[in-house]
Structure 1
Amino acid sequence: MHSRALVAVVACAAAFQGPVALADGPGGTISCGTTPEDRVTSRGETQVRSQSWLDERVPYSQNACHRNAYGDYRTDCSGYVSMAWGLTHSRTTVTLREVATAIPHADLQPGDALANDNHAALFVRWADEGRTEPVVREQTGPDGQPPVERKWTADTAAGYTALRYYKVVEGA
């Protein structure tokens, strides 16, 4: 596994390993409530929403929320995907699957996600014609680090399930 991806997995894994000091959401993590229901979100909107945290350089934390025009979300990896999708609250890496369907990696489109039990990232595009090296946006640790956009290796991507949000729609 690529060393930067390993750091991301280790940092985000801690978000799922037990209660957080301000626990009030599913799985013992802070939920940062936002909307009364999961919103219908276009693929283009997921990219605009996710770019907002890159532009604002939102610092990674498992114990903090960030509020902007798109709501109030926990500033870890699954909170970042929750914000991009427009979910009611920040999900965990495991509970993201409750609002998504597993799809083949080759079918990934902008706004889908790659997730395992320890980390989640938003898919942006393919870096190669063979559709093996995804470019992702992800909120990773350690604490204080802003989200990044980067290319994953095929080996890194193989350790993740491709997910499609159940209320994503095509278009800008």
Structure 2
Amino acid sequence: MWSMIGRRSRAGVIAALVAVAASLLLAQNPAAAATGYGGDVKRSVVISRAKDWFDRNVPYSQNLDESTWVWDENHGHKYRPDCSGFISMAWRLTSSRNTGTLPAVSHTINWNDLLPGDALLKTTGNLATEHVRLFDRWVDESTHADFWYYEEGSTATDMNHARVNVRDIRNAGYHPIRYDHIVKG
């Protein structure tokens, strides 16, 4: 009977069987679905992924040619190695977003609510987005005055892990955002 089905039809049948098997596996193990791209991601995973690019000192580039994009730590996806591609990678998004499209997968939060894995989005007076950084941690949890962040900075600096004062970054036009699918852990 298999020989009676054309090559294209066989490929379609195989693809359908694989999809059904995958959905059954994920239904039996919801945790496996949560670890995928575009879904829930733990804060510790976001910071670990950011640290991976920092440790590799991934060079900054806004090149739109996907052949120059960089694999994430487990080679699941490739991302543009600029500020928003870096955030997309850290958040395990399914594609490399730009600063103008990151708000579609996040929401604004208060400065005092910043937690590891949140981000800081810079906007100008006309609300055009310019740059984004990843919040790492508060220097002093009791004061919330200074914090550490990761960023894919520029062609001059590449990856950065630096300390900044909240007042200074607020005055520079940044505001805190949180990925809609970030979870504890």
Taking structure 2 as the reference length, the TM-score comes to: 0.68
Aligned twin of 1:88: 94
Instruction: Specify which structure has the bigger relative contact order, considering alpha-carbon pairs within 8 angstroms and separated by 6 or more residues.
Output: 1
Aligned twin of 1:148: 160
**Aligned partners of 1:157, 1:131: CA distance in 2, in Å?**
13
**Aligned partners of 1:110, 1:37: CA distance in 2, in Å?**
19
How many angstroms does 1:39 deviate by?
2.5
Higher share in helix: 2
What do you get for the CA RMSD once the two structures are aligned?
1.7
How many angstroms does 1:37 deviate by?
5.6
Cα displacement string for residues 66-105 of structure 1 (whole angstroms, at most 9, x for unaligned residues): 0131521000001001100001111111211100010001
Query: 1:62-73 counterparts in 2 under 5 A?
Result: 62-63=62-63, 64-68=68-72, 69=74, 70-73=76-79
Aligned twin of 1:163: 177
Given candidates 80, 84, 87, the residue that maps to 1:78 is 84
Aligned twin of 1:139: 152
Query: 1:1-172 counterparts in 2 under 5 A?
Result: 38-63=38-63, 64-68=68-72, 69=74, 70-116=76-122, 117-128=129-140, 129-142=142-155, 145-158=157-170, 159-171=173-185
- Report SS of the residue matched to 1:119: strand
**Aligned partners of 1:83, 1:135: CA distance in 2, in Å?**
19
- Report SS of the residue matched to 2:130: coil
Q: How many residues align?
A: 135
Which structure is larger by alpha-carbon Rg, 1 or 2?
Answer: 2
Q: Retained in 2: the 8 A contact 1:134–1:157? A: no
**Aligned partners of 2:37, 2:101: CA distance in 1, in Å?**
16
Unaligned runs of 5+ in 1: 1-35
**Aligned partners of 1:77, 1:50: CA distance in 2, in Å?**
11
**Aligned partners of 1:81, 1:47: CA distance in 2, in Å?**
10
Q: More displaced, 37-46 or 150-159?
A: 150-159
**Counterpart residue type for residue 42 of structure 1:** K
How many angstroms does 1:40 deviate by?
1.3
Taking structure 1 as the reference length, the TM-score comes to: 0.73
Unaligned runs of 5+ in 2: 1-35, 123-128
How many angstroms does 1:155 deviate by?
3.2
Q: Retained in 2: the 8 A contact 1:39–1:85? A: no
